[in-house]
Amino acid sequence: MSCCGLLTVQKQPVPLKSIEVQLEVRDHVATVVSTLNYENKEDKPLEAVFVFPLPGDAAVCHFSATIGQTQIVAEVKEKQQAREEYDDALSSGQQAFLLEESEQSPDIFSLSVGSLPPGESASIRLEYVIELAVQADDGLRFCLPAVLNPRYEPQGSEGASVQVTSVPASLVPYSLSFSARVSSPRPVSKVESSCSLDPLQYLNTEQTQATVKLAAGHKFDRDVELLIYYKDAHQPTAVVEAGQASAKPGTLMGDPVVMLSLYPEFPQSVMSSVSSCGEFVFLMDRSGSMGSRMNNSESHQTRISSARDTLLLLLKSLPMGCYFNIYSFGDSYKHLFRKSVKYNQKTMEEALKKVEVMDANLGGTEILKPLKHIYSQPCIPSQPRQLFVFTDGEVSNTKDVINLVKKNSGSHRCFSFGIGEGSSSALINGLAKEGGGHAQFITGTDRMQPKVMQSLQFALQPAVVDISVTWDLPKGVSVTALSPPITTLFQGQRSLIYAQLTGQVGASSDAAEGCVTVKYSLAGHPSQNQLHFSLKPEEDTGLTVHRLGARTLIRSLEMEEREHRGQQDGGVKEKVVELSVQSGVSSSFTAFIAVNKGNNEPIRGPLVRRDVPTADSKNCCHFLHSPNKSSHIHTATHRLFSVHTLFDFSSEASSSRDADTEPKQPLRDPLLQLVSLQEASGRWVLDPALAAALGKTSEEVEKTKPALVNQEVWATILALIWLHGFKMNAKEEWELLANKAVSWLCAQNAPCVAECVEAGNTLLGCAVQRDVLGL
């Protein structure tokens, strides 16, 4: 990747002046309004193309432009028609604006600002709604993507390649302002961020409403991530939203829509009786960018180093009797074993030796090939396949990858992890959603290990099967599901259901209720959860629920169209276009188009294209150059096609590094040092390495051992005391492997356990009770 364009950008003004973002969070749904302010300082008419990331599951529902005193509100139209109208407007000298979603990935949008006259300013307003994902610690995650990694083009893929150039970030000429308002039926306990925030301001004494904003001086050089915490978060809720008064009854926008948030609770008796088993397949990204730091700080380890530590914890936490394998990928892929092997001391040691020397040296991000190979392997009877995918990259064939996972969803569950700024939300969320698993994002100062271990706990939960949803509604009210059927349930994790309510909903009394029942089978035991809800529409929700419901249905139909492309008469695509136009929510087959027809004078002069630089996480600015971006671009006018975007500097092409240039890694964390000594069975062995990990000499450890206790029992109890005494803040990282150690100890039926615990506490300077250890 060459560094060029510095002088050009220095000498020529850039049109984007500022970005303002307002976030409105209601419970677990967010409305985001972004305003982009442009100014043409050229002496010629200007066209700018701004390519930017949005969350892959966002419902873009409003787009407008203000030029001087004139506001133009965009309409949603079929994509090719919108492109033609845009080109026609520019050809006739009119101002026009086009907003379209990438056909390859739903988290990339391009905004074309056309025929901006010399000296003129334009303000672009973009609005979208989104559900906030629940994190491992019950926080709700909102992410404003600033970083768009270069899309890796798989070998042999179609479409124009994208060349990248970069300039220093000191030239970034525009600012970002960001503010958020949070409201919920439950108190807001705290709001955290990867960026500096001003103090949280509560708006009422109940603390159910609050505002927060970015501290002054923020550089838009990383994703802006907010984590919102409510008290008593896991409460099932229902929101009924009235239909649009101007829309026809019986249509999606004309009828009420209900959004249900369910938190299934599994019977404890069933959960405790299930034995852990499975085939665990770990697919690790080893492309060049995995050699980058976890964040900007030089003190933080690299992504691949953090991944190695995470694999250590995973391998130590697997249950005895399961099967496992490790794949890694870049331009090509490798597997540790020819096929998955039974987990025991020998195979675990062999795997750990290979993991220790894993580096970020495999080039690009070819994820489709290893996935195809994994799915070609026969499943092992009575060992449910659990796939863990780790990647920091983005691929241009996101939809192909997700389709492959969906096609194989009946034979496995897929848990995905986005590492670092700019990992594709569409890819990570899509893998987990279609694979019936769970998605996690590791950014900023996040530790990878606790999030991955939470997903392992989910993977060890038994698969829920035979899931059905039934409705009990008053007479005269019928229901149409907008969400695809629920295929996955996890203990305590939220499931969302959208449905259209048709009939006399408004005529019902205020006390009228509906009831939804989710039935399922867990380890052969039939179970169910119910939620009763009022049919009275909520006030002041606007059309947020309708738009999210429309987005859900649009995504399902798009997936159906891709699966049957060439086998249908285009009916599904027509349905998507009709629904998108009716709801005002974007899709891959539609675009927002706005033309200023009020300006009588055509704009004279050839159009000039300008780059809009932005900073990335390496304090460097980037542009994408793509001469043949889409079919609506033609050469009738002079257009220097330079597309603005942000993305991580550590691209696949530039970040691959030789082993001798790998930065020196810090000394191993004491927790990982102790964990690395545990055997596959769960026990520890009494040796000098264990004594050193405990901070003691071999003589101190051996002479305090009770006489009747064997060395392995004593060593294992000491390790458990140390974990509980010194590492409770990281319990989610070691809880599973500690449970394995306790199971091993119980199986030994060892004497003098109470004496061992007392002696161990004295030796290590702790006060951990025997019952806390589970003994």
Q: Which residue, among 400, 402, 410, 385, has the nearest Cα to 487 in the 3D structure? A: 410
- Judge contact between 292 and 304, C-beta under 8 A: no
Please name the residue that has the structure tokens 């996935």: 371
What pLDDT is stored for residue 353 in this prediction? 94
**Strand bridging mode 620-625 / 608-609:** unpaired
**pLDDT mean for each 10 residues of the chain (775 residues):** 24 62 92 86 73 81 86 93 92 88 79 79 89 83 68 45 36 72 92 88 94 81 83 84 90 93 79 75 92 72 88 92 94 93 95 93 88 93 90 80 88 89 82 88 78 86 85 92 86 86 70 88 85 85 90 90 70 93 93 79 49 42 35 30 30 34 53 94 94 94 91 95 92 91 90 91 91 84
What pLDDT is stored for residue 173 in this prediction? 54
What pLDDT is stored for residue 647 in this prediction? 28
Count of beta carbons in the 10 Å neighbourhood of residue 744: 19
What is d(CA 315, CA 325) in angstroms, rounded to the nearest whole number?
A: 10
Name, in order, each residue with C-beta under 8 angstroms of 232's C-beta and a sequence gap of 6 or more.
186
What pLDDT is stored for residue 614 in this prediction? 41
What pLDDT is stored for residue 86 in this prediction? 92
Convert 332-360 to b/e letters by CB count within 10 Å (16 or more is b). Answer: ebebbeeebbebeeebbeebeeebeebbb
Count of beta carbons in the 10 Å neighbourhood of residue 747: 11
Q: Which residue, among 634, 639, 643, has the nearest Cα to 606 in the 3D structure? A: 639
Which strand ranges, in their side-by-side order, compose the sheet holding 464-472? 464-472, 513-522, 525-534
Q: Which residue, among 617, 620, 730, has the nearest Cα to 194 in the 3D structure? A: 617
Local structure of residue 289 (DSSP, 8 states): G
What pLDDT is stored for residue 523 in this prediction? 77
What pLDDT is stored for residue 220 in this prediction? 63
What pLDDT is stored for residue 387 in this prediction? 95
Q: Would you state the CATH architecture of domain 16-232+584-614?
A: Sandwich (2.60)
What pLDDT is stored for residue 32 in this prediction? 94
What is d(CA 265, CA 236) in angstroms, rounded to the nearest whole number?
A: 11
Q: Which residue, among 45, 176, 120, 193, has the nearest Cα to 614 in the 3D structure? A: 176
Q: What is the CATH number of domain 278-460?
A: 3.40.50.410
The full set of domain ranges for the chain reads 16-232+584-614, 278-460, 461-505+512-536, 670-773
What is d(CA 18, CA 9) in angstroms, rounded to the nearest whole number?
A: 17
- Judge contact between 359 and 350, C-beta under 8 A: no
